[in-house]
Structure 1
C-alpha cells in the first residue's frame, strides 16, 4: 500500500513524502523522538533528524483542493 507520509521535524518544519510504502512510514514512526530518523528512499539513506509525530494519508494528496 502506498500513500503520503507527513513528518513534523524538531525545527518546526514539515516534510511530506509522497508515493511511499507503508513499511517505510512504519520504519520512520518507530524512530520518532530519535536524534537521527533514517530510512531508505529511492536507494538512498535519508536522515530527517528528529521527527515527531508522523502522520499517514493513504493514496495521494490533492494539493489543488488542499486535502
Structure 2
C-alpha cells in the first residue's frame, strides 16, 4: 500500500513524502524522536534529522483542495 508520509522536524519544518510504501512510514515512525531518522528512498539513504511526530495519509493528497 502506498501513501503520503508527513514528517514534522525539530527545526519546525515539515517534509511531505508522496508515493511511499507503508513499510517506509513504519520505519520512519519507529525512529521518531531519534537524533537521526534514516531510511532508504528511491535507492538512496536519507537522513531527516530529528522527526516527531510523523503521520500517514493513504493514497495521494489533493493539494488543489487546500491542505
Band the TM-score falls in, shorter-chain normalisation? over 0.9
Shift of 1:66: 2.2
Say what the alpha-carbon RMSD is for the aligned residues.
0.6
Give 5+ residue unaligned stretches, structure 2. Answer: none
CA distance in 2: counterparts of 1:66 and 1:29, whole angstroms: 26
Name 2:9's counterpart in structure 1: 9
TM-score (norm 2): 0.98
Q: Which residue of 1 aligns with 2:62?
A: 62
Q: Where is the helix percentage greater, Structure 1 or Structure 2? A: 2
Mapping 1:1-67, distance limit 5 Å: 1-67=1-67
Aligned length: 67
CA distance in structure 2 between the aligned counterparts of 1:60 and 1:37, rounded to whole angstroms? 23
Q: What CA distance in whole angstroms lies between the structure 2 residues aligned with 1:27 and 1:66?
A: 28
How far apart, in 1, do the equivalents of 2:33 and 2:54 lie? 10
